[in-house]
């Protein structure tokens, strides 16, 4: 019995010590967790500071036998409060992040969380039931009976455990860092993915690229009802960023989002789709100077856009289509912002300019063997260039943008291809946008024509840059649209 009491006390002490230290290291997250559980902000702020201190006090009291009963009573009271809070949220079908151990472990609460706390409650109740005089033996009294060899072994064992703990801590942070790198790599890979034929869907999270963006009507921070149509009314692309006040990554991103809203207002409308109450989101919006903050009640808009984590971002074209795969995580959101405002159409982003043809006004998609549409556009080195001027030889129409980061990445290889073209390689005609000066600075040898209205891209059914289409010597379409650097170079080298 004494051994069971001692083990129970040490178990509770370890749990509460770890929880208290982790919460102190993640003070902001602990406060947000309390808000997520339904506490008003006025209570969450002081309790967020007091709770880890109370947990550490309980852990300290459980160790010596003289205070163990009071420590167990404190543990029982805290665990009872946790169980009531978790049970109340589960009864309302709400599953906020537990953050029981700060940043070390944060998952939505569930019946497993309730069962775990119930088990710990049983341990604490057992110690309390045994009474103040029977809380078990002293935690350290047995040390005096150890021989010198046994004492040395104990110290050595504690050192080893401490080293393993430190190593585990570093591994944990290394894995978190690698996770952020993987998110960035996934976003970059998605950014150069190939648009599939047929319905225009594309690999990646969220809704298929090119599908109709689901409409919604949500309440703003001042009681107004705002729809997706309202956000699209300016004719600019709309970026929906899904956030939650109890998400630390979201909180860290809010200041940047406010800056994006101010800096890129002429190019892009950024709206936040947030969880929890209007009051909580109004406080965040006021703190960071955010606009276009809309509040969903039960994740209904997130569900319609297949959003599973926050922060996430979805780009909607002016025509109301999904423009990219869903960007998941703060790094992926930042990459999507950079892609959107840094280039007119960096794949897989669809055209976002208001002068671009709508889906209804575009010509029918071209097929291999069809006559090529006429191309006559202003060139950098001549008054005009047309495909008729290039008849009698294969020509690769390379659709380009100087502001497209993916185009810039392939520029050195493109210059190498121009300098050493393979046998039977097609001539290259670059169809670009931007100013003459910016295009000249690229230093390409191939003729460059300017298509700032994107009429040629519409005529060939091109949705972004870099892309390419092969035209044969008789002026007929000789290939499907090649999308992305790898496919473009494959077409350019073999024709």
Enumerate the domain spans of the chain: 2-145, 217-342, 376-494
Distance (Å, whole) CA 335 – CA 187: 7
Mean pLDDT of 180-193: 44
Out of 66-70, 145-149, 205-209, 400-404, the most confident range is 66-70
C-alpha distance from residue 251 to each of 106, 165, 271 (Å): 16, 30, 15
Helix, strand or coil for residue 256?
helix
Q: Provide the pLDDT for residue 242.
A: 93
φ/ψ region of 229 (left if φ > 0, alpha if ψ in -120 to 50, else beta) reads alpha
CB within 8 Å of 280: residues ≥ 6 apart: 35, 41, 245
Q: Grade residue 240 by pLDDT with cuts at 50, 70 and 90.
A: very high
Distance (Å, whole) CA 287 – CA 433: 40
The helix (H) or strand (E) run that includes residue 395 is: strand 395-399
**Above pLDDT 90, what percent of the chain?**
11
Distance (Å, whole) CA 244 – CA 254: 10
In this structure, what is the dihedral angle of CA atoms 448, 451, 454, 455, given to the nearest 10 degrees? -100
The CATH fold of domain 376-494: Glutaredoxin (3.40.30)
Is the predicted pLDDT of residue 371 greater than 90, yes or no?
A: no
Q: Provide the pLDDT for residue 180.
A: 46
Alpha carbon 454 to its chain's center: 31
350 or 198: which carries more pLDDT confidence? 350
**Above pLDDT 70, what percent of the chain?**
75
Mean pLDDT of the chain: 77
Mean pLDDT of 260-264: 84
Please list the residues that pair with 270 across neighbouring strands: 239
Is the predicted pLDDT of residue 341 greater than 90, yes or no?
A: no
Cβ neighbour number for residue 464 with a 10 Å cutoff: 26
pTM of the predicted protein model: 0.37
Q: Nearest to residue 391, comparing CAs of 409, 372, 419?
A: 372
pLDDT in tens, 405-458: 678 878 888 999 998 888 888 989 898 888 888 888 888 888 888 888 777 888
Give the strands of the sheet with 467-471, arranged side by side.
Answer: 448-450, 427-432, 395-399, 467-471, 482-483
Is the predicted pLDDT of residue 119 greater than 60, yes or no?
A: yes
Mean pLDDT of 123-131: 89
CB within 8 Å of 214: residues ≥ 6 apart: 207, 228, 301, 304, 305
Residue 251 · residue 257 · CB < 8 Å: no
State the residue for tokens 């509770």. Answer: 12
pLDDT in tens, 274-296: 887 788 788 888 888 888 999 98
CATH, domain 217-342, list 1.10.1040.50, 3.20.20.100, 3.40.30.10, 3.40.309.10: 3.40.30.10
Q: Grade residue 351 by pLDDT with cuts at 50, 70 and 90.
A: very low
The token pair at 367 is: 């097929």
Q: Provide the pLDDT for residue 382.
A: 58
Q: Provide the pLDDT for residue 238.
A: 93
Mean pLDDT of 78-82: 90
Lowest-confidence segment of 17-31, 113-127, 208-222 by average pLDDT: 17-31
Sign of the CA dihedral 413, 418, 424, 425? positive
Is the predicted pLDDT of residue 187 greater than 80, yes or no?
A: no
Lowest-confidence segment of 8-17, 108-117, 134-143, 290-299 by average pLDDT: 134-143
Q: Provide the pLDDT for residue 342.
A: 54
Mean pLDDT of 46-69: 87
pLDDT in tens, 302-323: 989 998 888 999 999 888 888 8
Q: Provide the pLDDT for residue 457.
A: 81
Is the predicted pLDDT of residue 63 greater than 80, yes or no?
A: yes
Residue 248 · residue 28 · CB < 8 Å: yes
Distance (Å, whole) CA 240 – CA 262: 16
Q: How far apart are the first and last CA of the chain?
A: 83
Distance (Å, whole) CA 26 – CA 14: 18
pLDDT in tens, 374-392: 767 777 765 677 666 667 7
């Amino acid at each position: 019995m004494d051994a069971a009491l001692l083990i129970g006390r040490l178990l509770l002490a370890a749990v509460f010590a770890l929880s208290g230290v982790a919460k102190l290291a993640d003070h902001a997250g602990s406060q947000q967790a309390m808000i997520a559980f339904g506490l008003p902000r006025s209570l969450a702020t002081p309790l967020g500071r007091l709770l880890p201190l109370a947990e550490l006090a309980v852990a300290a009291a459980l160790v010596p036998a003289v205070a163990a009963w009071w420590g167990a009573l404190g543990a029982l009271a805290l665990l009872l409060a946790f169980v009531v809070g978790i049970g109340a949220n589960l009864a309302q079908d709400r599953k906020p992040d537990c953050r029981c151990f700060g940043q070390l472990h944060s998952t939505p609460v569930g019946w497993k969380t309730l069962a775990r706390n119930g088990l710990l409650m049983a341990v604490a109740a057992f110690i309390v039931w045994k009474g103040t005089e029977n809380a078990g033996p002293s935690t350290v009294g047995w040390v005096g009976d150890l021989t010198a060899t046994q004492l040395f072994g104990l110290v050595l064992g504690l050192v080893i455990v401490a080293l393993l703990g430190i190593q585990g801590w570093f591994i944990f942070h290394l894995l978190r860092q690698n996770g952020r790198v993987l998110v960035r790599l996934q976003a970059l890979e998605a950014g150069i993915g190939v648009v599939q034929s047929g319905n225009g869907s594309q690999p990646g999270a969220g809704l298929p690229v090119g599908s109709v963006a689901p409409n919604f009507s949500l309440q703003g921070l001042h009681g107004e009802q705002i729809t997706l149509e309202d956000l699209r009314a300016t004719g600019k692309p709309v970026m929906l960023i899904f956030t939650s006040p109890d998400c630390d990554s979201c909180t860290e991103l809010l200041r940047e989002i406010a800056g994006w809203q101010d800096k890129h207002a002429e190019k892009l409308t950024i709206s936040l789709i947030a969880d929890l109450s209007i009051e909580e989101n109004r406080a965040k919006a006021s703190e960071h100077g955010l606009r276009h903050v809309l509040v969903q009640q039960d994740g209904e808009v997130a569900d319609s856009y297949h959003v599973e984590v926050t922060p996430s971002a979805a780009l909607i074209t002016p025509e109301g289509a999904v423009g990219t795969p869903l960007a998941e995580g703060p790094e992926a959101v930042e990459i999507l912002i950079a892609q959107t405002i840094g280039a007119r159409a960096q794949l897989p982003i669809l055209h976002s300019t208001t002068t671009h043809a709508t889906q209804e006004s575009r010509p029918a998609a071209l097929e291999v063997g069809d006559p090529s549409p006429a191309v006559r556009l202003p060139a950098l080195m001549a008054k005009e260039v047309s495909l008729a001027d290039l008849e009698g030889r294969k020509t690769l129409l390379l659709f380009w943008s100087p502001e497209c980061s993916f185009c810039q990445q392939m520029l050195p290889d493109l210059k190498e291809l121009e300098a050493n073209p393979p046998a039977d390689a097609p001539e290259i005609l670059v169809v670009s946008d931007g100013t003459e000066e910016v295009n000249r600075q690229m230093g390409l040898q191939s003729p460059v024509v300017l298509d700032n209205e994107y009429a040629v891209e519409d005529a060939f059914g091109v949705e972004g840059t870099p892309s390419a289409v092969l035209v044969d010597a008789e002026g007929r379409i000789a290939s499907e649209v090649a999308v992305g650097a790898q496919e473009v170079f494959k077409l350019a080298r073999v024709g």
